[in-house]
Amino acid sequence: MAEVQFWVRPEVMELGVLPILPPDKISIEMLSRLLQYSQDLGERGYPQMNYETWKHVAVKKMGLSVECSMVVFFSCLLFSKLRPGRDRELEATLAAAASQKERDEVMGGVEVWTMELIILLYLHRVTSAHPRAIARQASLQTLTTDPWPNSNISGATARKQLLEEKHAGFVREALPELLSLLAGHLQVEDTEKKKKSGDKRTPRELLGFMKSAGVLSVDVVKSLGFIIGTSLQGDKAEHDLLSVAMDTNNCYRSGYLSKKNAFQKGLFEQWLLRGLDWAPHGEWLCVRRGCRQSWPVVSLAPQTHHRFVTSPSSGHRLMYICELIDGLTAHMGDEAAPCDLKVRRCSKSNIYILQPIRNAVIHKCHDTRIVLGPVSGRIRLSECRNTVVVCAARSVVIADCRGSEGVLGGACEVMNPEDFQLLVIPFTQTPPIDGRPPLLPPGLPHEFAKSVEEAGKCVSSFRAEVRDAELSPEQRAILQKAVDAKFKAWLRDTGKQRELDQLEKLALTLKYERVAKTTAI
């Protein structure tokens, strides 16, 4: 009988939780009332909740802004495993809508699983903000009592906890409370406390409460798949948590009661915690047991200790790039399924990962440009400085990053169309499609397309002006010399000359490698 292994889904914990301070109204009692309210609404609220119902609750009851409520809703839709692909269907429908009225009608019919939404709100309540953000907006007492993340480090020589360890520790501590919340037990208990001095329960009612408090419905276990991944020992494929828990080989350990179609809370909780392990596509296994990648790399730094590693799991891969300093690398991708990407502590470098990507985390990079293929999920930038990311992505989260002026980028805004430029990727061998670079979706917003067209007209106008000036050969030579000097100064001031030097060095490296392979054959 294969052993069952569980892990905390890193993409939900790292990318699904927004780096904001939630309103005080998002409490356990509020989430418990939200569950009861959704069940009372019937089809509009449970087992799935539509967007209009959620927006009403989020804005009127919880104090969230309309924009924040929409982002939370889409986060739940993006990371849900119960109905994958709903986000892409929604985007296609919204793109086909001709007016705002049609878009509102489309959004009104979109639904997410209610318990998954409550789990996401629960994570926001205890894990949302970065410790620095909390320190700026809350007291030291609030900072030290925040349940997660905390390092739990005692002493200067204690080992620093990995992010995955913090996630697992959080789940171990919060699982009993979360299960009680999803099962609806917390509200019953709170109501009972309020009725201490008043109505008393009969012995039969008390016995019924005690029996129900120890039982989990199938919907509760099903919704836990939002944050818990499941696999069988020796099988790299990911399995559904509910199906594994109801399997005849595991039901006596998971506490599944086939006659009641429910789970015993204590047995299920113990079974889940006993099997909690490292994520097969997480950072820990990727760094320690992953496969090193021999991508072409050039670096102008005297010493570099960069690491390019992919996780050993073939089904859900993680690509890990760390500590590339003053270098350039390019990976053209392969025909495998989209993978997750983590880029950490890279500086003064240019990184090209030209393949489809599921989710991306970019952490503590500075003076670096990262060019990616299309990202189907979410990109998160945290604690970065002077970092430029070029890609087509479904969602972007920026936390605790700085502009060249040293000011925290607290809010995002759309780029000025006049500053927009098309990027030429020097590695793609695929010919342009419809006049656009490969790996990018067709079409640009009207303002940006117009800006690119105006820039092209300026170049054409200058060339026509030089052509019609009827300059002598000596005058042309003087003009050419002035243009070259100006261009070289621009390359030097913008740091583009460094990148050109790296590209030239990379071209020589690739040439020598091809010659060596030919000679060996």
Low-confidence ranges of the chain (pLDDT < 70): 1, 84-87, 126-159, 187-213, 303, 314-315, 334-336, 404-412, 427-443, 510-521
The pLDDT assigned to 228 comes to: 94
Report strand pairing: 307-310 vs 291-292. antiparallel
pLDDT digits (tens, 9 = 90+) for 173-193: 999 999 999 998 775 444 445
DSSP assignment of 192-255: HHHTSSS----HHHHHHHHHHHTEEEHHHHHHHTTTEEEEETT--S-B-HHHHHHSTTTHHHHT
**Per-residue burial over 406-435, b = 16 or more CB atoms within 10 Å of its CB, e = otherwise:** eeeeeeeeeeebeebeeeeeeeeeeeeeee
- Look at the pTM and tell me if it is higher than 0.85: no
Q: For residue 517, what are the contacts with CB-CB under 8 A and spacing of at least 6?
A: none
Would you give the distance in Å from CA 236 to the centre of its chain?
A: 22
pLDDT for 351? 92
Bridge partners, residue 237, by sequence: none
Q: Is 357 exposed, middle or buried (0-12, 13-18, 19+ CB in 10 A)?
A: buried
So what's the pLDDT on residue 299? 77
